[in-house]
Chain A
Amino acid sequence: MNISMLTTTQLALLLGLATALVAVTARRAAVVGLAIQYTLRLLMVGPLLLRPVLYGQVAVALAALMILFLSASSLAHVQRQRVVGGVSPLVRMGGLYGLFSMALAAFVALGLYRSFPLPGLSAQVTLGCYWLLLAGLLLIVIEPTVLGQGMAAVTALNGFQMAFLTLDNGLLMIALLSLLEIGLVLTVAVLSEQQLEQLAEAEEG
């Protein structure tokens, strides 16, 4: 399948779903949103890559999603225990607020991709890049939890890579950006676990 088969409306709907899932939950369902983002990115960049490199990219994406899913499961487990134990869960600003931010990012991205097209990139890649970057950066600002911020950062990185790998798909750059992606996801997982430990210690103390 090629990304050019999608109309702009279909692409915008897919991007909207992918970012809305991250914006609304920032938990396990958000991993589904990230999976849609990875699929879109691979569909856009895939035709430019050699087959083994593409398989490598798929493997990196699956590993990243797995790590984030495990972290999100751990967080959900702790949240459930806190609710059962009568302790207030980690405070979020609410899914509606996240959705509002996502809609703002989408509105700006839809305006920007026509007014300021990125040189050397197709309209679809430009739209995807602006959308994911803006949504990711906005969500980083409003997310209070480390896991939520990390998922937003992965969203922004997906937007960056969508454009950058279309422009430069040399093997060394792909390898380094994949290493960065896995490193970021691992950092998010470790810091999220640490935040949960902090909370547990604070409650015991």
Chain B
Amino acid sequence: MPLTVWLAVPFVGALLLWPVRRARQVAAPVAALIYLALAVTAPMVARSAPIDLLGRSLNLSAAHAPYVCFLAVGLALLMAGGAFVQESALVWPGSLGTFGFLVAALCAGSAQLAGAMLSIAVIGVAFCLLAPNTSELTMRTVIVLLCGTLMLLLAGWTVEASRLEHPLSVGAIGRPAALFGMALLLGLFPFGFWAPPLGRVERPTGAFLAVCALGVIASLRMSELSGLAGRELLPIVLRWGGLLTFCFGAVGALLPRRLCAVVGYAAMADLGVAALAMGAAPLDGVDLAAQHLAYRAVACAALWVAARVLSKCFGSDDVHALNGAFSRAPLTLTAVLLAGMSLSGLPPMAGFASRNAILGLTMTNPWWSSLWAMGTLGPVWGLARIVIASWGPTPPPGSRREPVWLGVLLLAMTLFLLVAGVLPNVIAWMQGLAS
């Protein structure tokens, strides 16, 4: 399949879904099918020739194709979940348009073009986040993320300019722009203040796009900007930023009682792990980090959809409202258990396999391993107490049963994380398929 056609599919899909955006039962499955089609065809597109867009090249490399598949599958699940739980009518076309710009940013031949594409994708994220009582939060998120993407755009320009006429601009503009932009976009502590509140918003697609998808794309663009950010400075910033993010997320995950809020903090702790990998080794570390962030994206998608399903069936995803919920939503809560294990880094899930590889790459002192284990306890406690509470004898009064089809989809998604944990070479196999 030609790359031009494949890149146009999300935008055409968004235009087609616009007239039927209020018909949730039609728009949600159609959007999910479009995402599935994009995921299936991504490895084929990686074999097609690069295209030229007004003098700039676009190409999907075989190494990046699996990550597009992961994101597209995660979004397909969110769309399918949206057929059952309430989402804004703008989510179906908005998420497709945003995904189109995110993929274009991944395919862009230059970091400058990628920065511009990511900036427009941020606007799409804002439309996916629209919900009652979220206008201030959405505006804050848009401003922070735009600062990050525009910094990347500037850093990308300095990469190009350093090869042409402005070599001086690298140190003066490029270095702070690359460092600040990456820290903001990835959500590293203390720049990640925008990320945890998104977990609590009743818009899982918007949260997924902002917290997971943008992070995966930014980490994949990292290698070309790492030279710009300084060979000595970048590893230090990433190591300490990653460690603080890990600790902040782990402690934060101990406190909330709602599943969606715990997921927000657990995702932040997991991001800290990925940042540690990026800081440890310039090439292997970035690959490992991208892999870890891709597994995190799948787990977050499953958990946020599960949280919305539980809210719909039991009135809330609060630990007190879910007492005895397992008998009415066994599939969803099993999916929560498996995805939560992966996000927390427990064996035998995919999150554990990638964390283990990162631990081997980064840690040299024994006390790091202890800190690592303690950092896992926060998300484990936050997620486990919800599952344990659901094993109570009496289902909540007035509750309803889970939709079986959605429970099966959630379980299938999390079983994939189990398979990827047992067979950790899944991504390498997919990359081989695409090349």
Q: Do A and B interact?
A: yes
The chain A residues found within 8 Å of chain B, CB to CB, are 116, 118-120, 140, 146, 149-150, 153, 157, 160, 164, 167-168, 170-173, 176-177, 179-180, 183-184, 186-188, 190-192, 194-195, 198, 201
Most chain A C-beta atoms within 10 Å of own C-beta, residue among B54, B117, B139, B166: B139
**Contact across chains for B135 and A173 when beta carbons are under 8 A apart:** no
Bound CA span A180–B142, Å: 12
**Contact across chains for B135 and A119 when beta carbons are under 8 A apart:** no
User: Which 8 A-B residue pairs are closest in the complex by CB-CB distance?
Assistant: A183-B123, A176-B116, A172-B54, A195-B135, A191-B135, A194-B135, A119-B169, A187-B126
Q: How far is the CB of B115 from chain A (nearest CB, A)?
A: 9
Given the known interface contacts A167-B161, A187-B127, A195-B136, the answer about A120 and B55 at a Cβ–Cβ threshold of 8 Å is no
**Contact across chains for A118 and B173 when beta carbons are under 8 A apart:** yes
**B146 contact from A120, A153, A195, Cβ within 8 A:** A153
Q: How many A-B contacts are there with CB distance less than 8 Å?
A: 89
Which residues from chain B contact A146 at a C-beta distance below 8 Å?
Answer: 135-136, 139
Bound CA span A176–B119, Å: 9
Q: How far is the CB of B54 from chain A (nearest CB, A)?
A: 4
Q: What are the interface flags for B120-159 relative to A under an 8 Å C-beta threshold, 1 for contact and 0 otherwise?
A: 1001101100101111101110110010001001100100
**Contact across chains for B139 and A180 when beta carbons are under 8 A apart:** no
Bound CA span A100–B136, Å: 24
**Contact across chains for B120 and A164 when beta carbons are under 8 A apart:** no
Which residues from chain B contact A188 at a C-beta distance below 8 Å?
Answer: 139
**Contact across chains for A150 and B139 when beta carbons are under 8 A apart:** yes
**A168 contact from B127, B130, B132, B157, Cβ within 8 A:** B157
Which residues from chain A contact B112 at a C-beta distance below 8 Å?
Answer: 168, 173
Bound CA span A74–B117, Å: 31
- The range of chain B's interface size is 35 or more
Bound CA span A167–B174, Å: 14
**Contact across chains for A198 and B132 when beta carbons are under 8 A apart:** yes
**A191 contact from B139, B166, B172, Cβ within 8 A:** B139
27 inter-chain pairs at a CB distance below 8 angstroms, sorted by A residue, are: A116-B172, A119-B166, A120-B165, A120-B169, A140-B143, A146-B139, A149-B139, A149-B140, A149-B143, A153-B142, A167-B161, A168-B112, A171-B54, A173-B116, A176-B120, A180-B116, A180-B123, A184-B123, A186-B123, A187-B123, A187-B127, A187-B139, A190-B127, A190-B130, A191-B139, A194-B132, A198-B132
Bound CA span A177–B150, Å: 10
Which residues from chain B contact A149 at a C-beta distance below 8 Å?
Answer: 139-140, 143
